[in-house]
């Protein structure tokens, strides 16, 4: 098979669905994951040429290992892995139980890490491949009420930045996608919320929760345009490590960079003095 084989997690809706559709239009082959067998069956009935749906739970290590093994056995390789599946979550840090934190980290960090680790041996064998991590502008800048989600995406970005350096000499490329608000189901039914609400955080985390729900369906980002940008990045000879998407992402990431630079300059002499001399 000459065309690229893409493995995209979480293609039932949103950016994952749009990306799968755009890749199929480009005549590459998509293997997309769903969490329910009925979704798999429905997809496979209507997509018989350039795509195949599989049942995969990224929070289940055995499911990941078995599915990757089956894909390699049937298709011989995975050219592009897109770790898209994940979940949103709102709530102040204090409002969020450790059980809820783990629920967020399982797909957003551990599942994504396991997918990456499981595909890597096959990409190393081919001395080629692209790993695309769907992060967020919230993987660079944190927001009150978004701290646990931010933490999961900060963790994703941390290991992916290191991974990019580790695999570059092996012919494998890593890209971190950082969308701002996009018109998906992220702020709708797919959004997790802390079960505890503390009134003292009503003006910070509470206000963010209300704002996020209020923009559902009105976000600036176009998933199809984002998909085309991701495909162009994958097909470029020298893809950048990071790809922000949307005007809001440019603004918020820019704010973070300015804040870090300001703190660096303010504390430059203090930092210099904290050494043996």
Active site residue 201: no
Active site residue 211: no
Cα dist from 109 to 87, 101, 164, whole Å: 10, 11, 16
Catalytic residue among 149, 173, 201, 227: 149
The phi, psi pair for 96, rounded to 5°, reads: -95, 125
Q: What is the pLDDT of residues 178-191, one digit of tens each?
A: 998 775 655 556 78
Coil, helix or strand for 149? helix
**174 vs 157: CA distance, rounded Å:** 11
Catalytic residue among 12, 22, 136, 175: 12
Catalytic residue among 17, 114, 153, 173: 153
**20 vs 36: CA distance, rounded Å:** 17
Closest CA to 51 of 13, 73, 24, 79: 24
**43 vs 25: CA distance, rounded Å:** 16
Beta bridge partners of 172: 129
Compute the average pLDDT of residues 189-197: 88
Global pTM? Answer: 0.94
Dihedral of CA atoms 188, 142, 19, 69 in degrees, nearest 10, equals -100
| Domain parsing of the chain, residue ranges | 5-273
**179 vs 86: CA distance, rounded Å:** 14
Q: What is the pLDDT of residues 14-61, one digit of tens each?
A: 899 999 999 999 999 999 999 999 999 999 998 778 999 999 999 999
Catalytic residue among 135, 136, 160, 175: 135
Which pLDDT score, from 0 to 100, does residue 184 have?
63
> CATH number for the 5-273 domain, one of 3.40.50.720, 3.65.10.10, 3.40.50.1820, 3.30.2010.30?
3.40.50.720
At residue 1 the predicted structure's pLDDT band, cuts being 50, 70 and 90, is very low
Active site residue 12: yes
Task: Tally Cβ neighbours within 10 Å of residue 73.
Answer: 8
Q: What is the pLDDT of residues 214-247, one digit of tens each?
A: 666 667 788 999 999 999 999 999 999 999 999 9
């Amino acid at each position: 098979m000459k065309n690229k084989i893409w493995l995209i997690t979480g293609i039932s809706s949103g950016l994952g669905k749009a990306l799968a559709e755009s890749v199929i239009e480009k005549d590459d082959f998509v293997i997309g994951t769903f969490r329910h067998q009925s979704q798999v069956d429905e997809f496979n009935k209507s997509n018989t040429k350039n795509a195949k749906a599989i049942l995969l739970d990224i929070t289940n290590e055995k499911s990941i290992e078995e599915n990757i093994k089956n894909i390699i056995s049937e298709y011989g390789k995975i050219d592009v892995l897109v770790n898209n599946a994940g979940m949103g979550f709102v709530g102040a840090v204090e409002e969020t139980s450790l059980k809820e934190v783990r629920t967020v980290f399982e797909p957003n960090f551990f599942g994504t890490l396991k997918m990456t680790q499981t595909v890597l041996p096959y990409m190393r064998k081919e001395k080629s491949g692209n790993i695309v991590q769907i992060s967020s502008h919230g993987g660079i800048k944190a927001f009150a009420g978004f701290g646990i989600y931010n933490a999961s995406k900060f963790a994703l970005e941390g290991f992916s930045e290191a991974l990019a350096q580790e695999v570059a000499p092996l012919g494998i490329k890593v890209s971190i996608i950082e969308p701002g608000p996009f018109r998906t189901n992220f702020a709708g039914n797919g959004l997790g919320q802390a079960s505890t609400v503390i009134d003292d955080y009503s003006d910070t985390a509470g206000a963010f929760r209300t704002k996020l729900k209020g923009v559902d369906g009105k976000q600036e980002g176009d998933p199809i345009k984002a998909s085309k940008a991701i495909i162009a990045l994958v097909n470029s000879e020298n893809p950048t490590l990071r790809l922000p998407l949307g005007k809001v992402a440019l603004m918020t990431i820019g704010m973070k960079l300015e804040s870090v630079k300001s703190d660096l300059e303010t504390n430059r002499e203090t930092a210099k003095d904290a050494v043996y001399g």
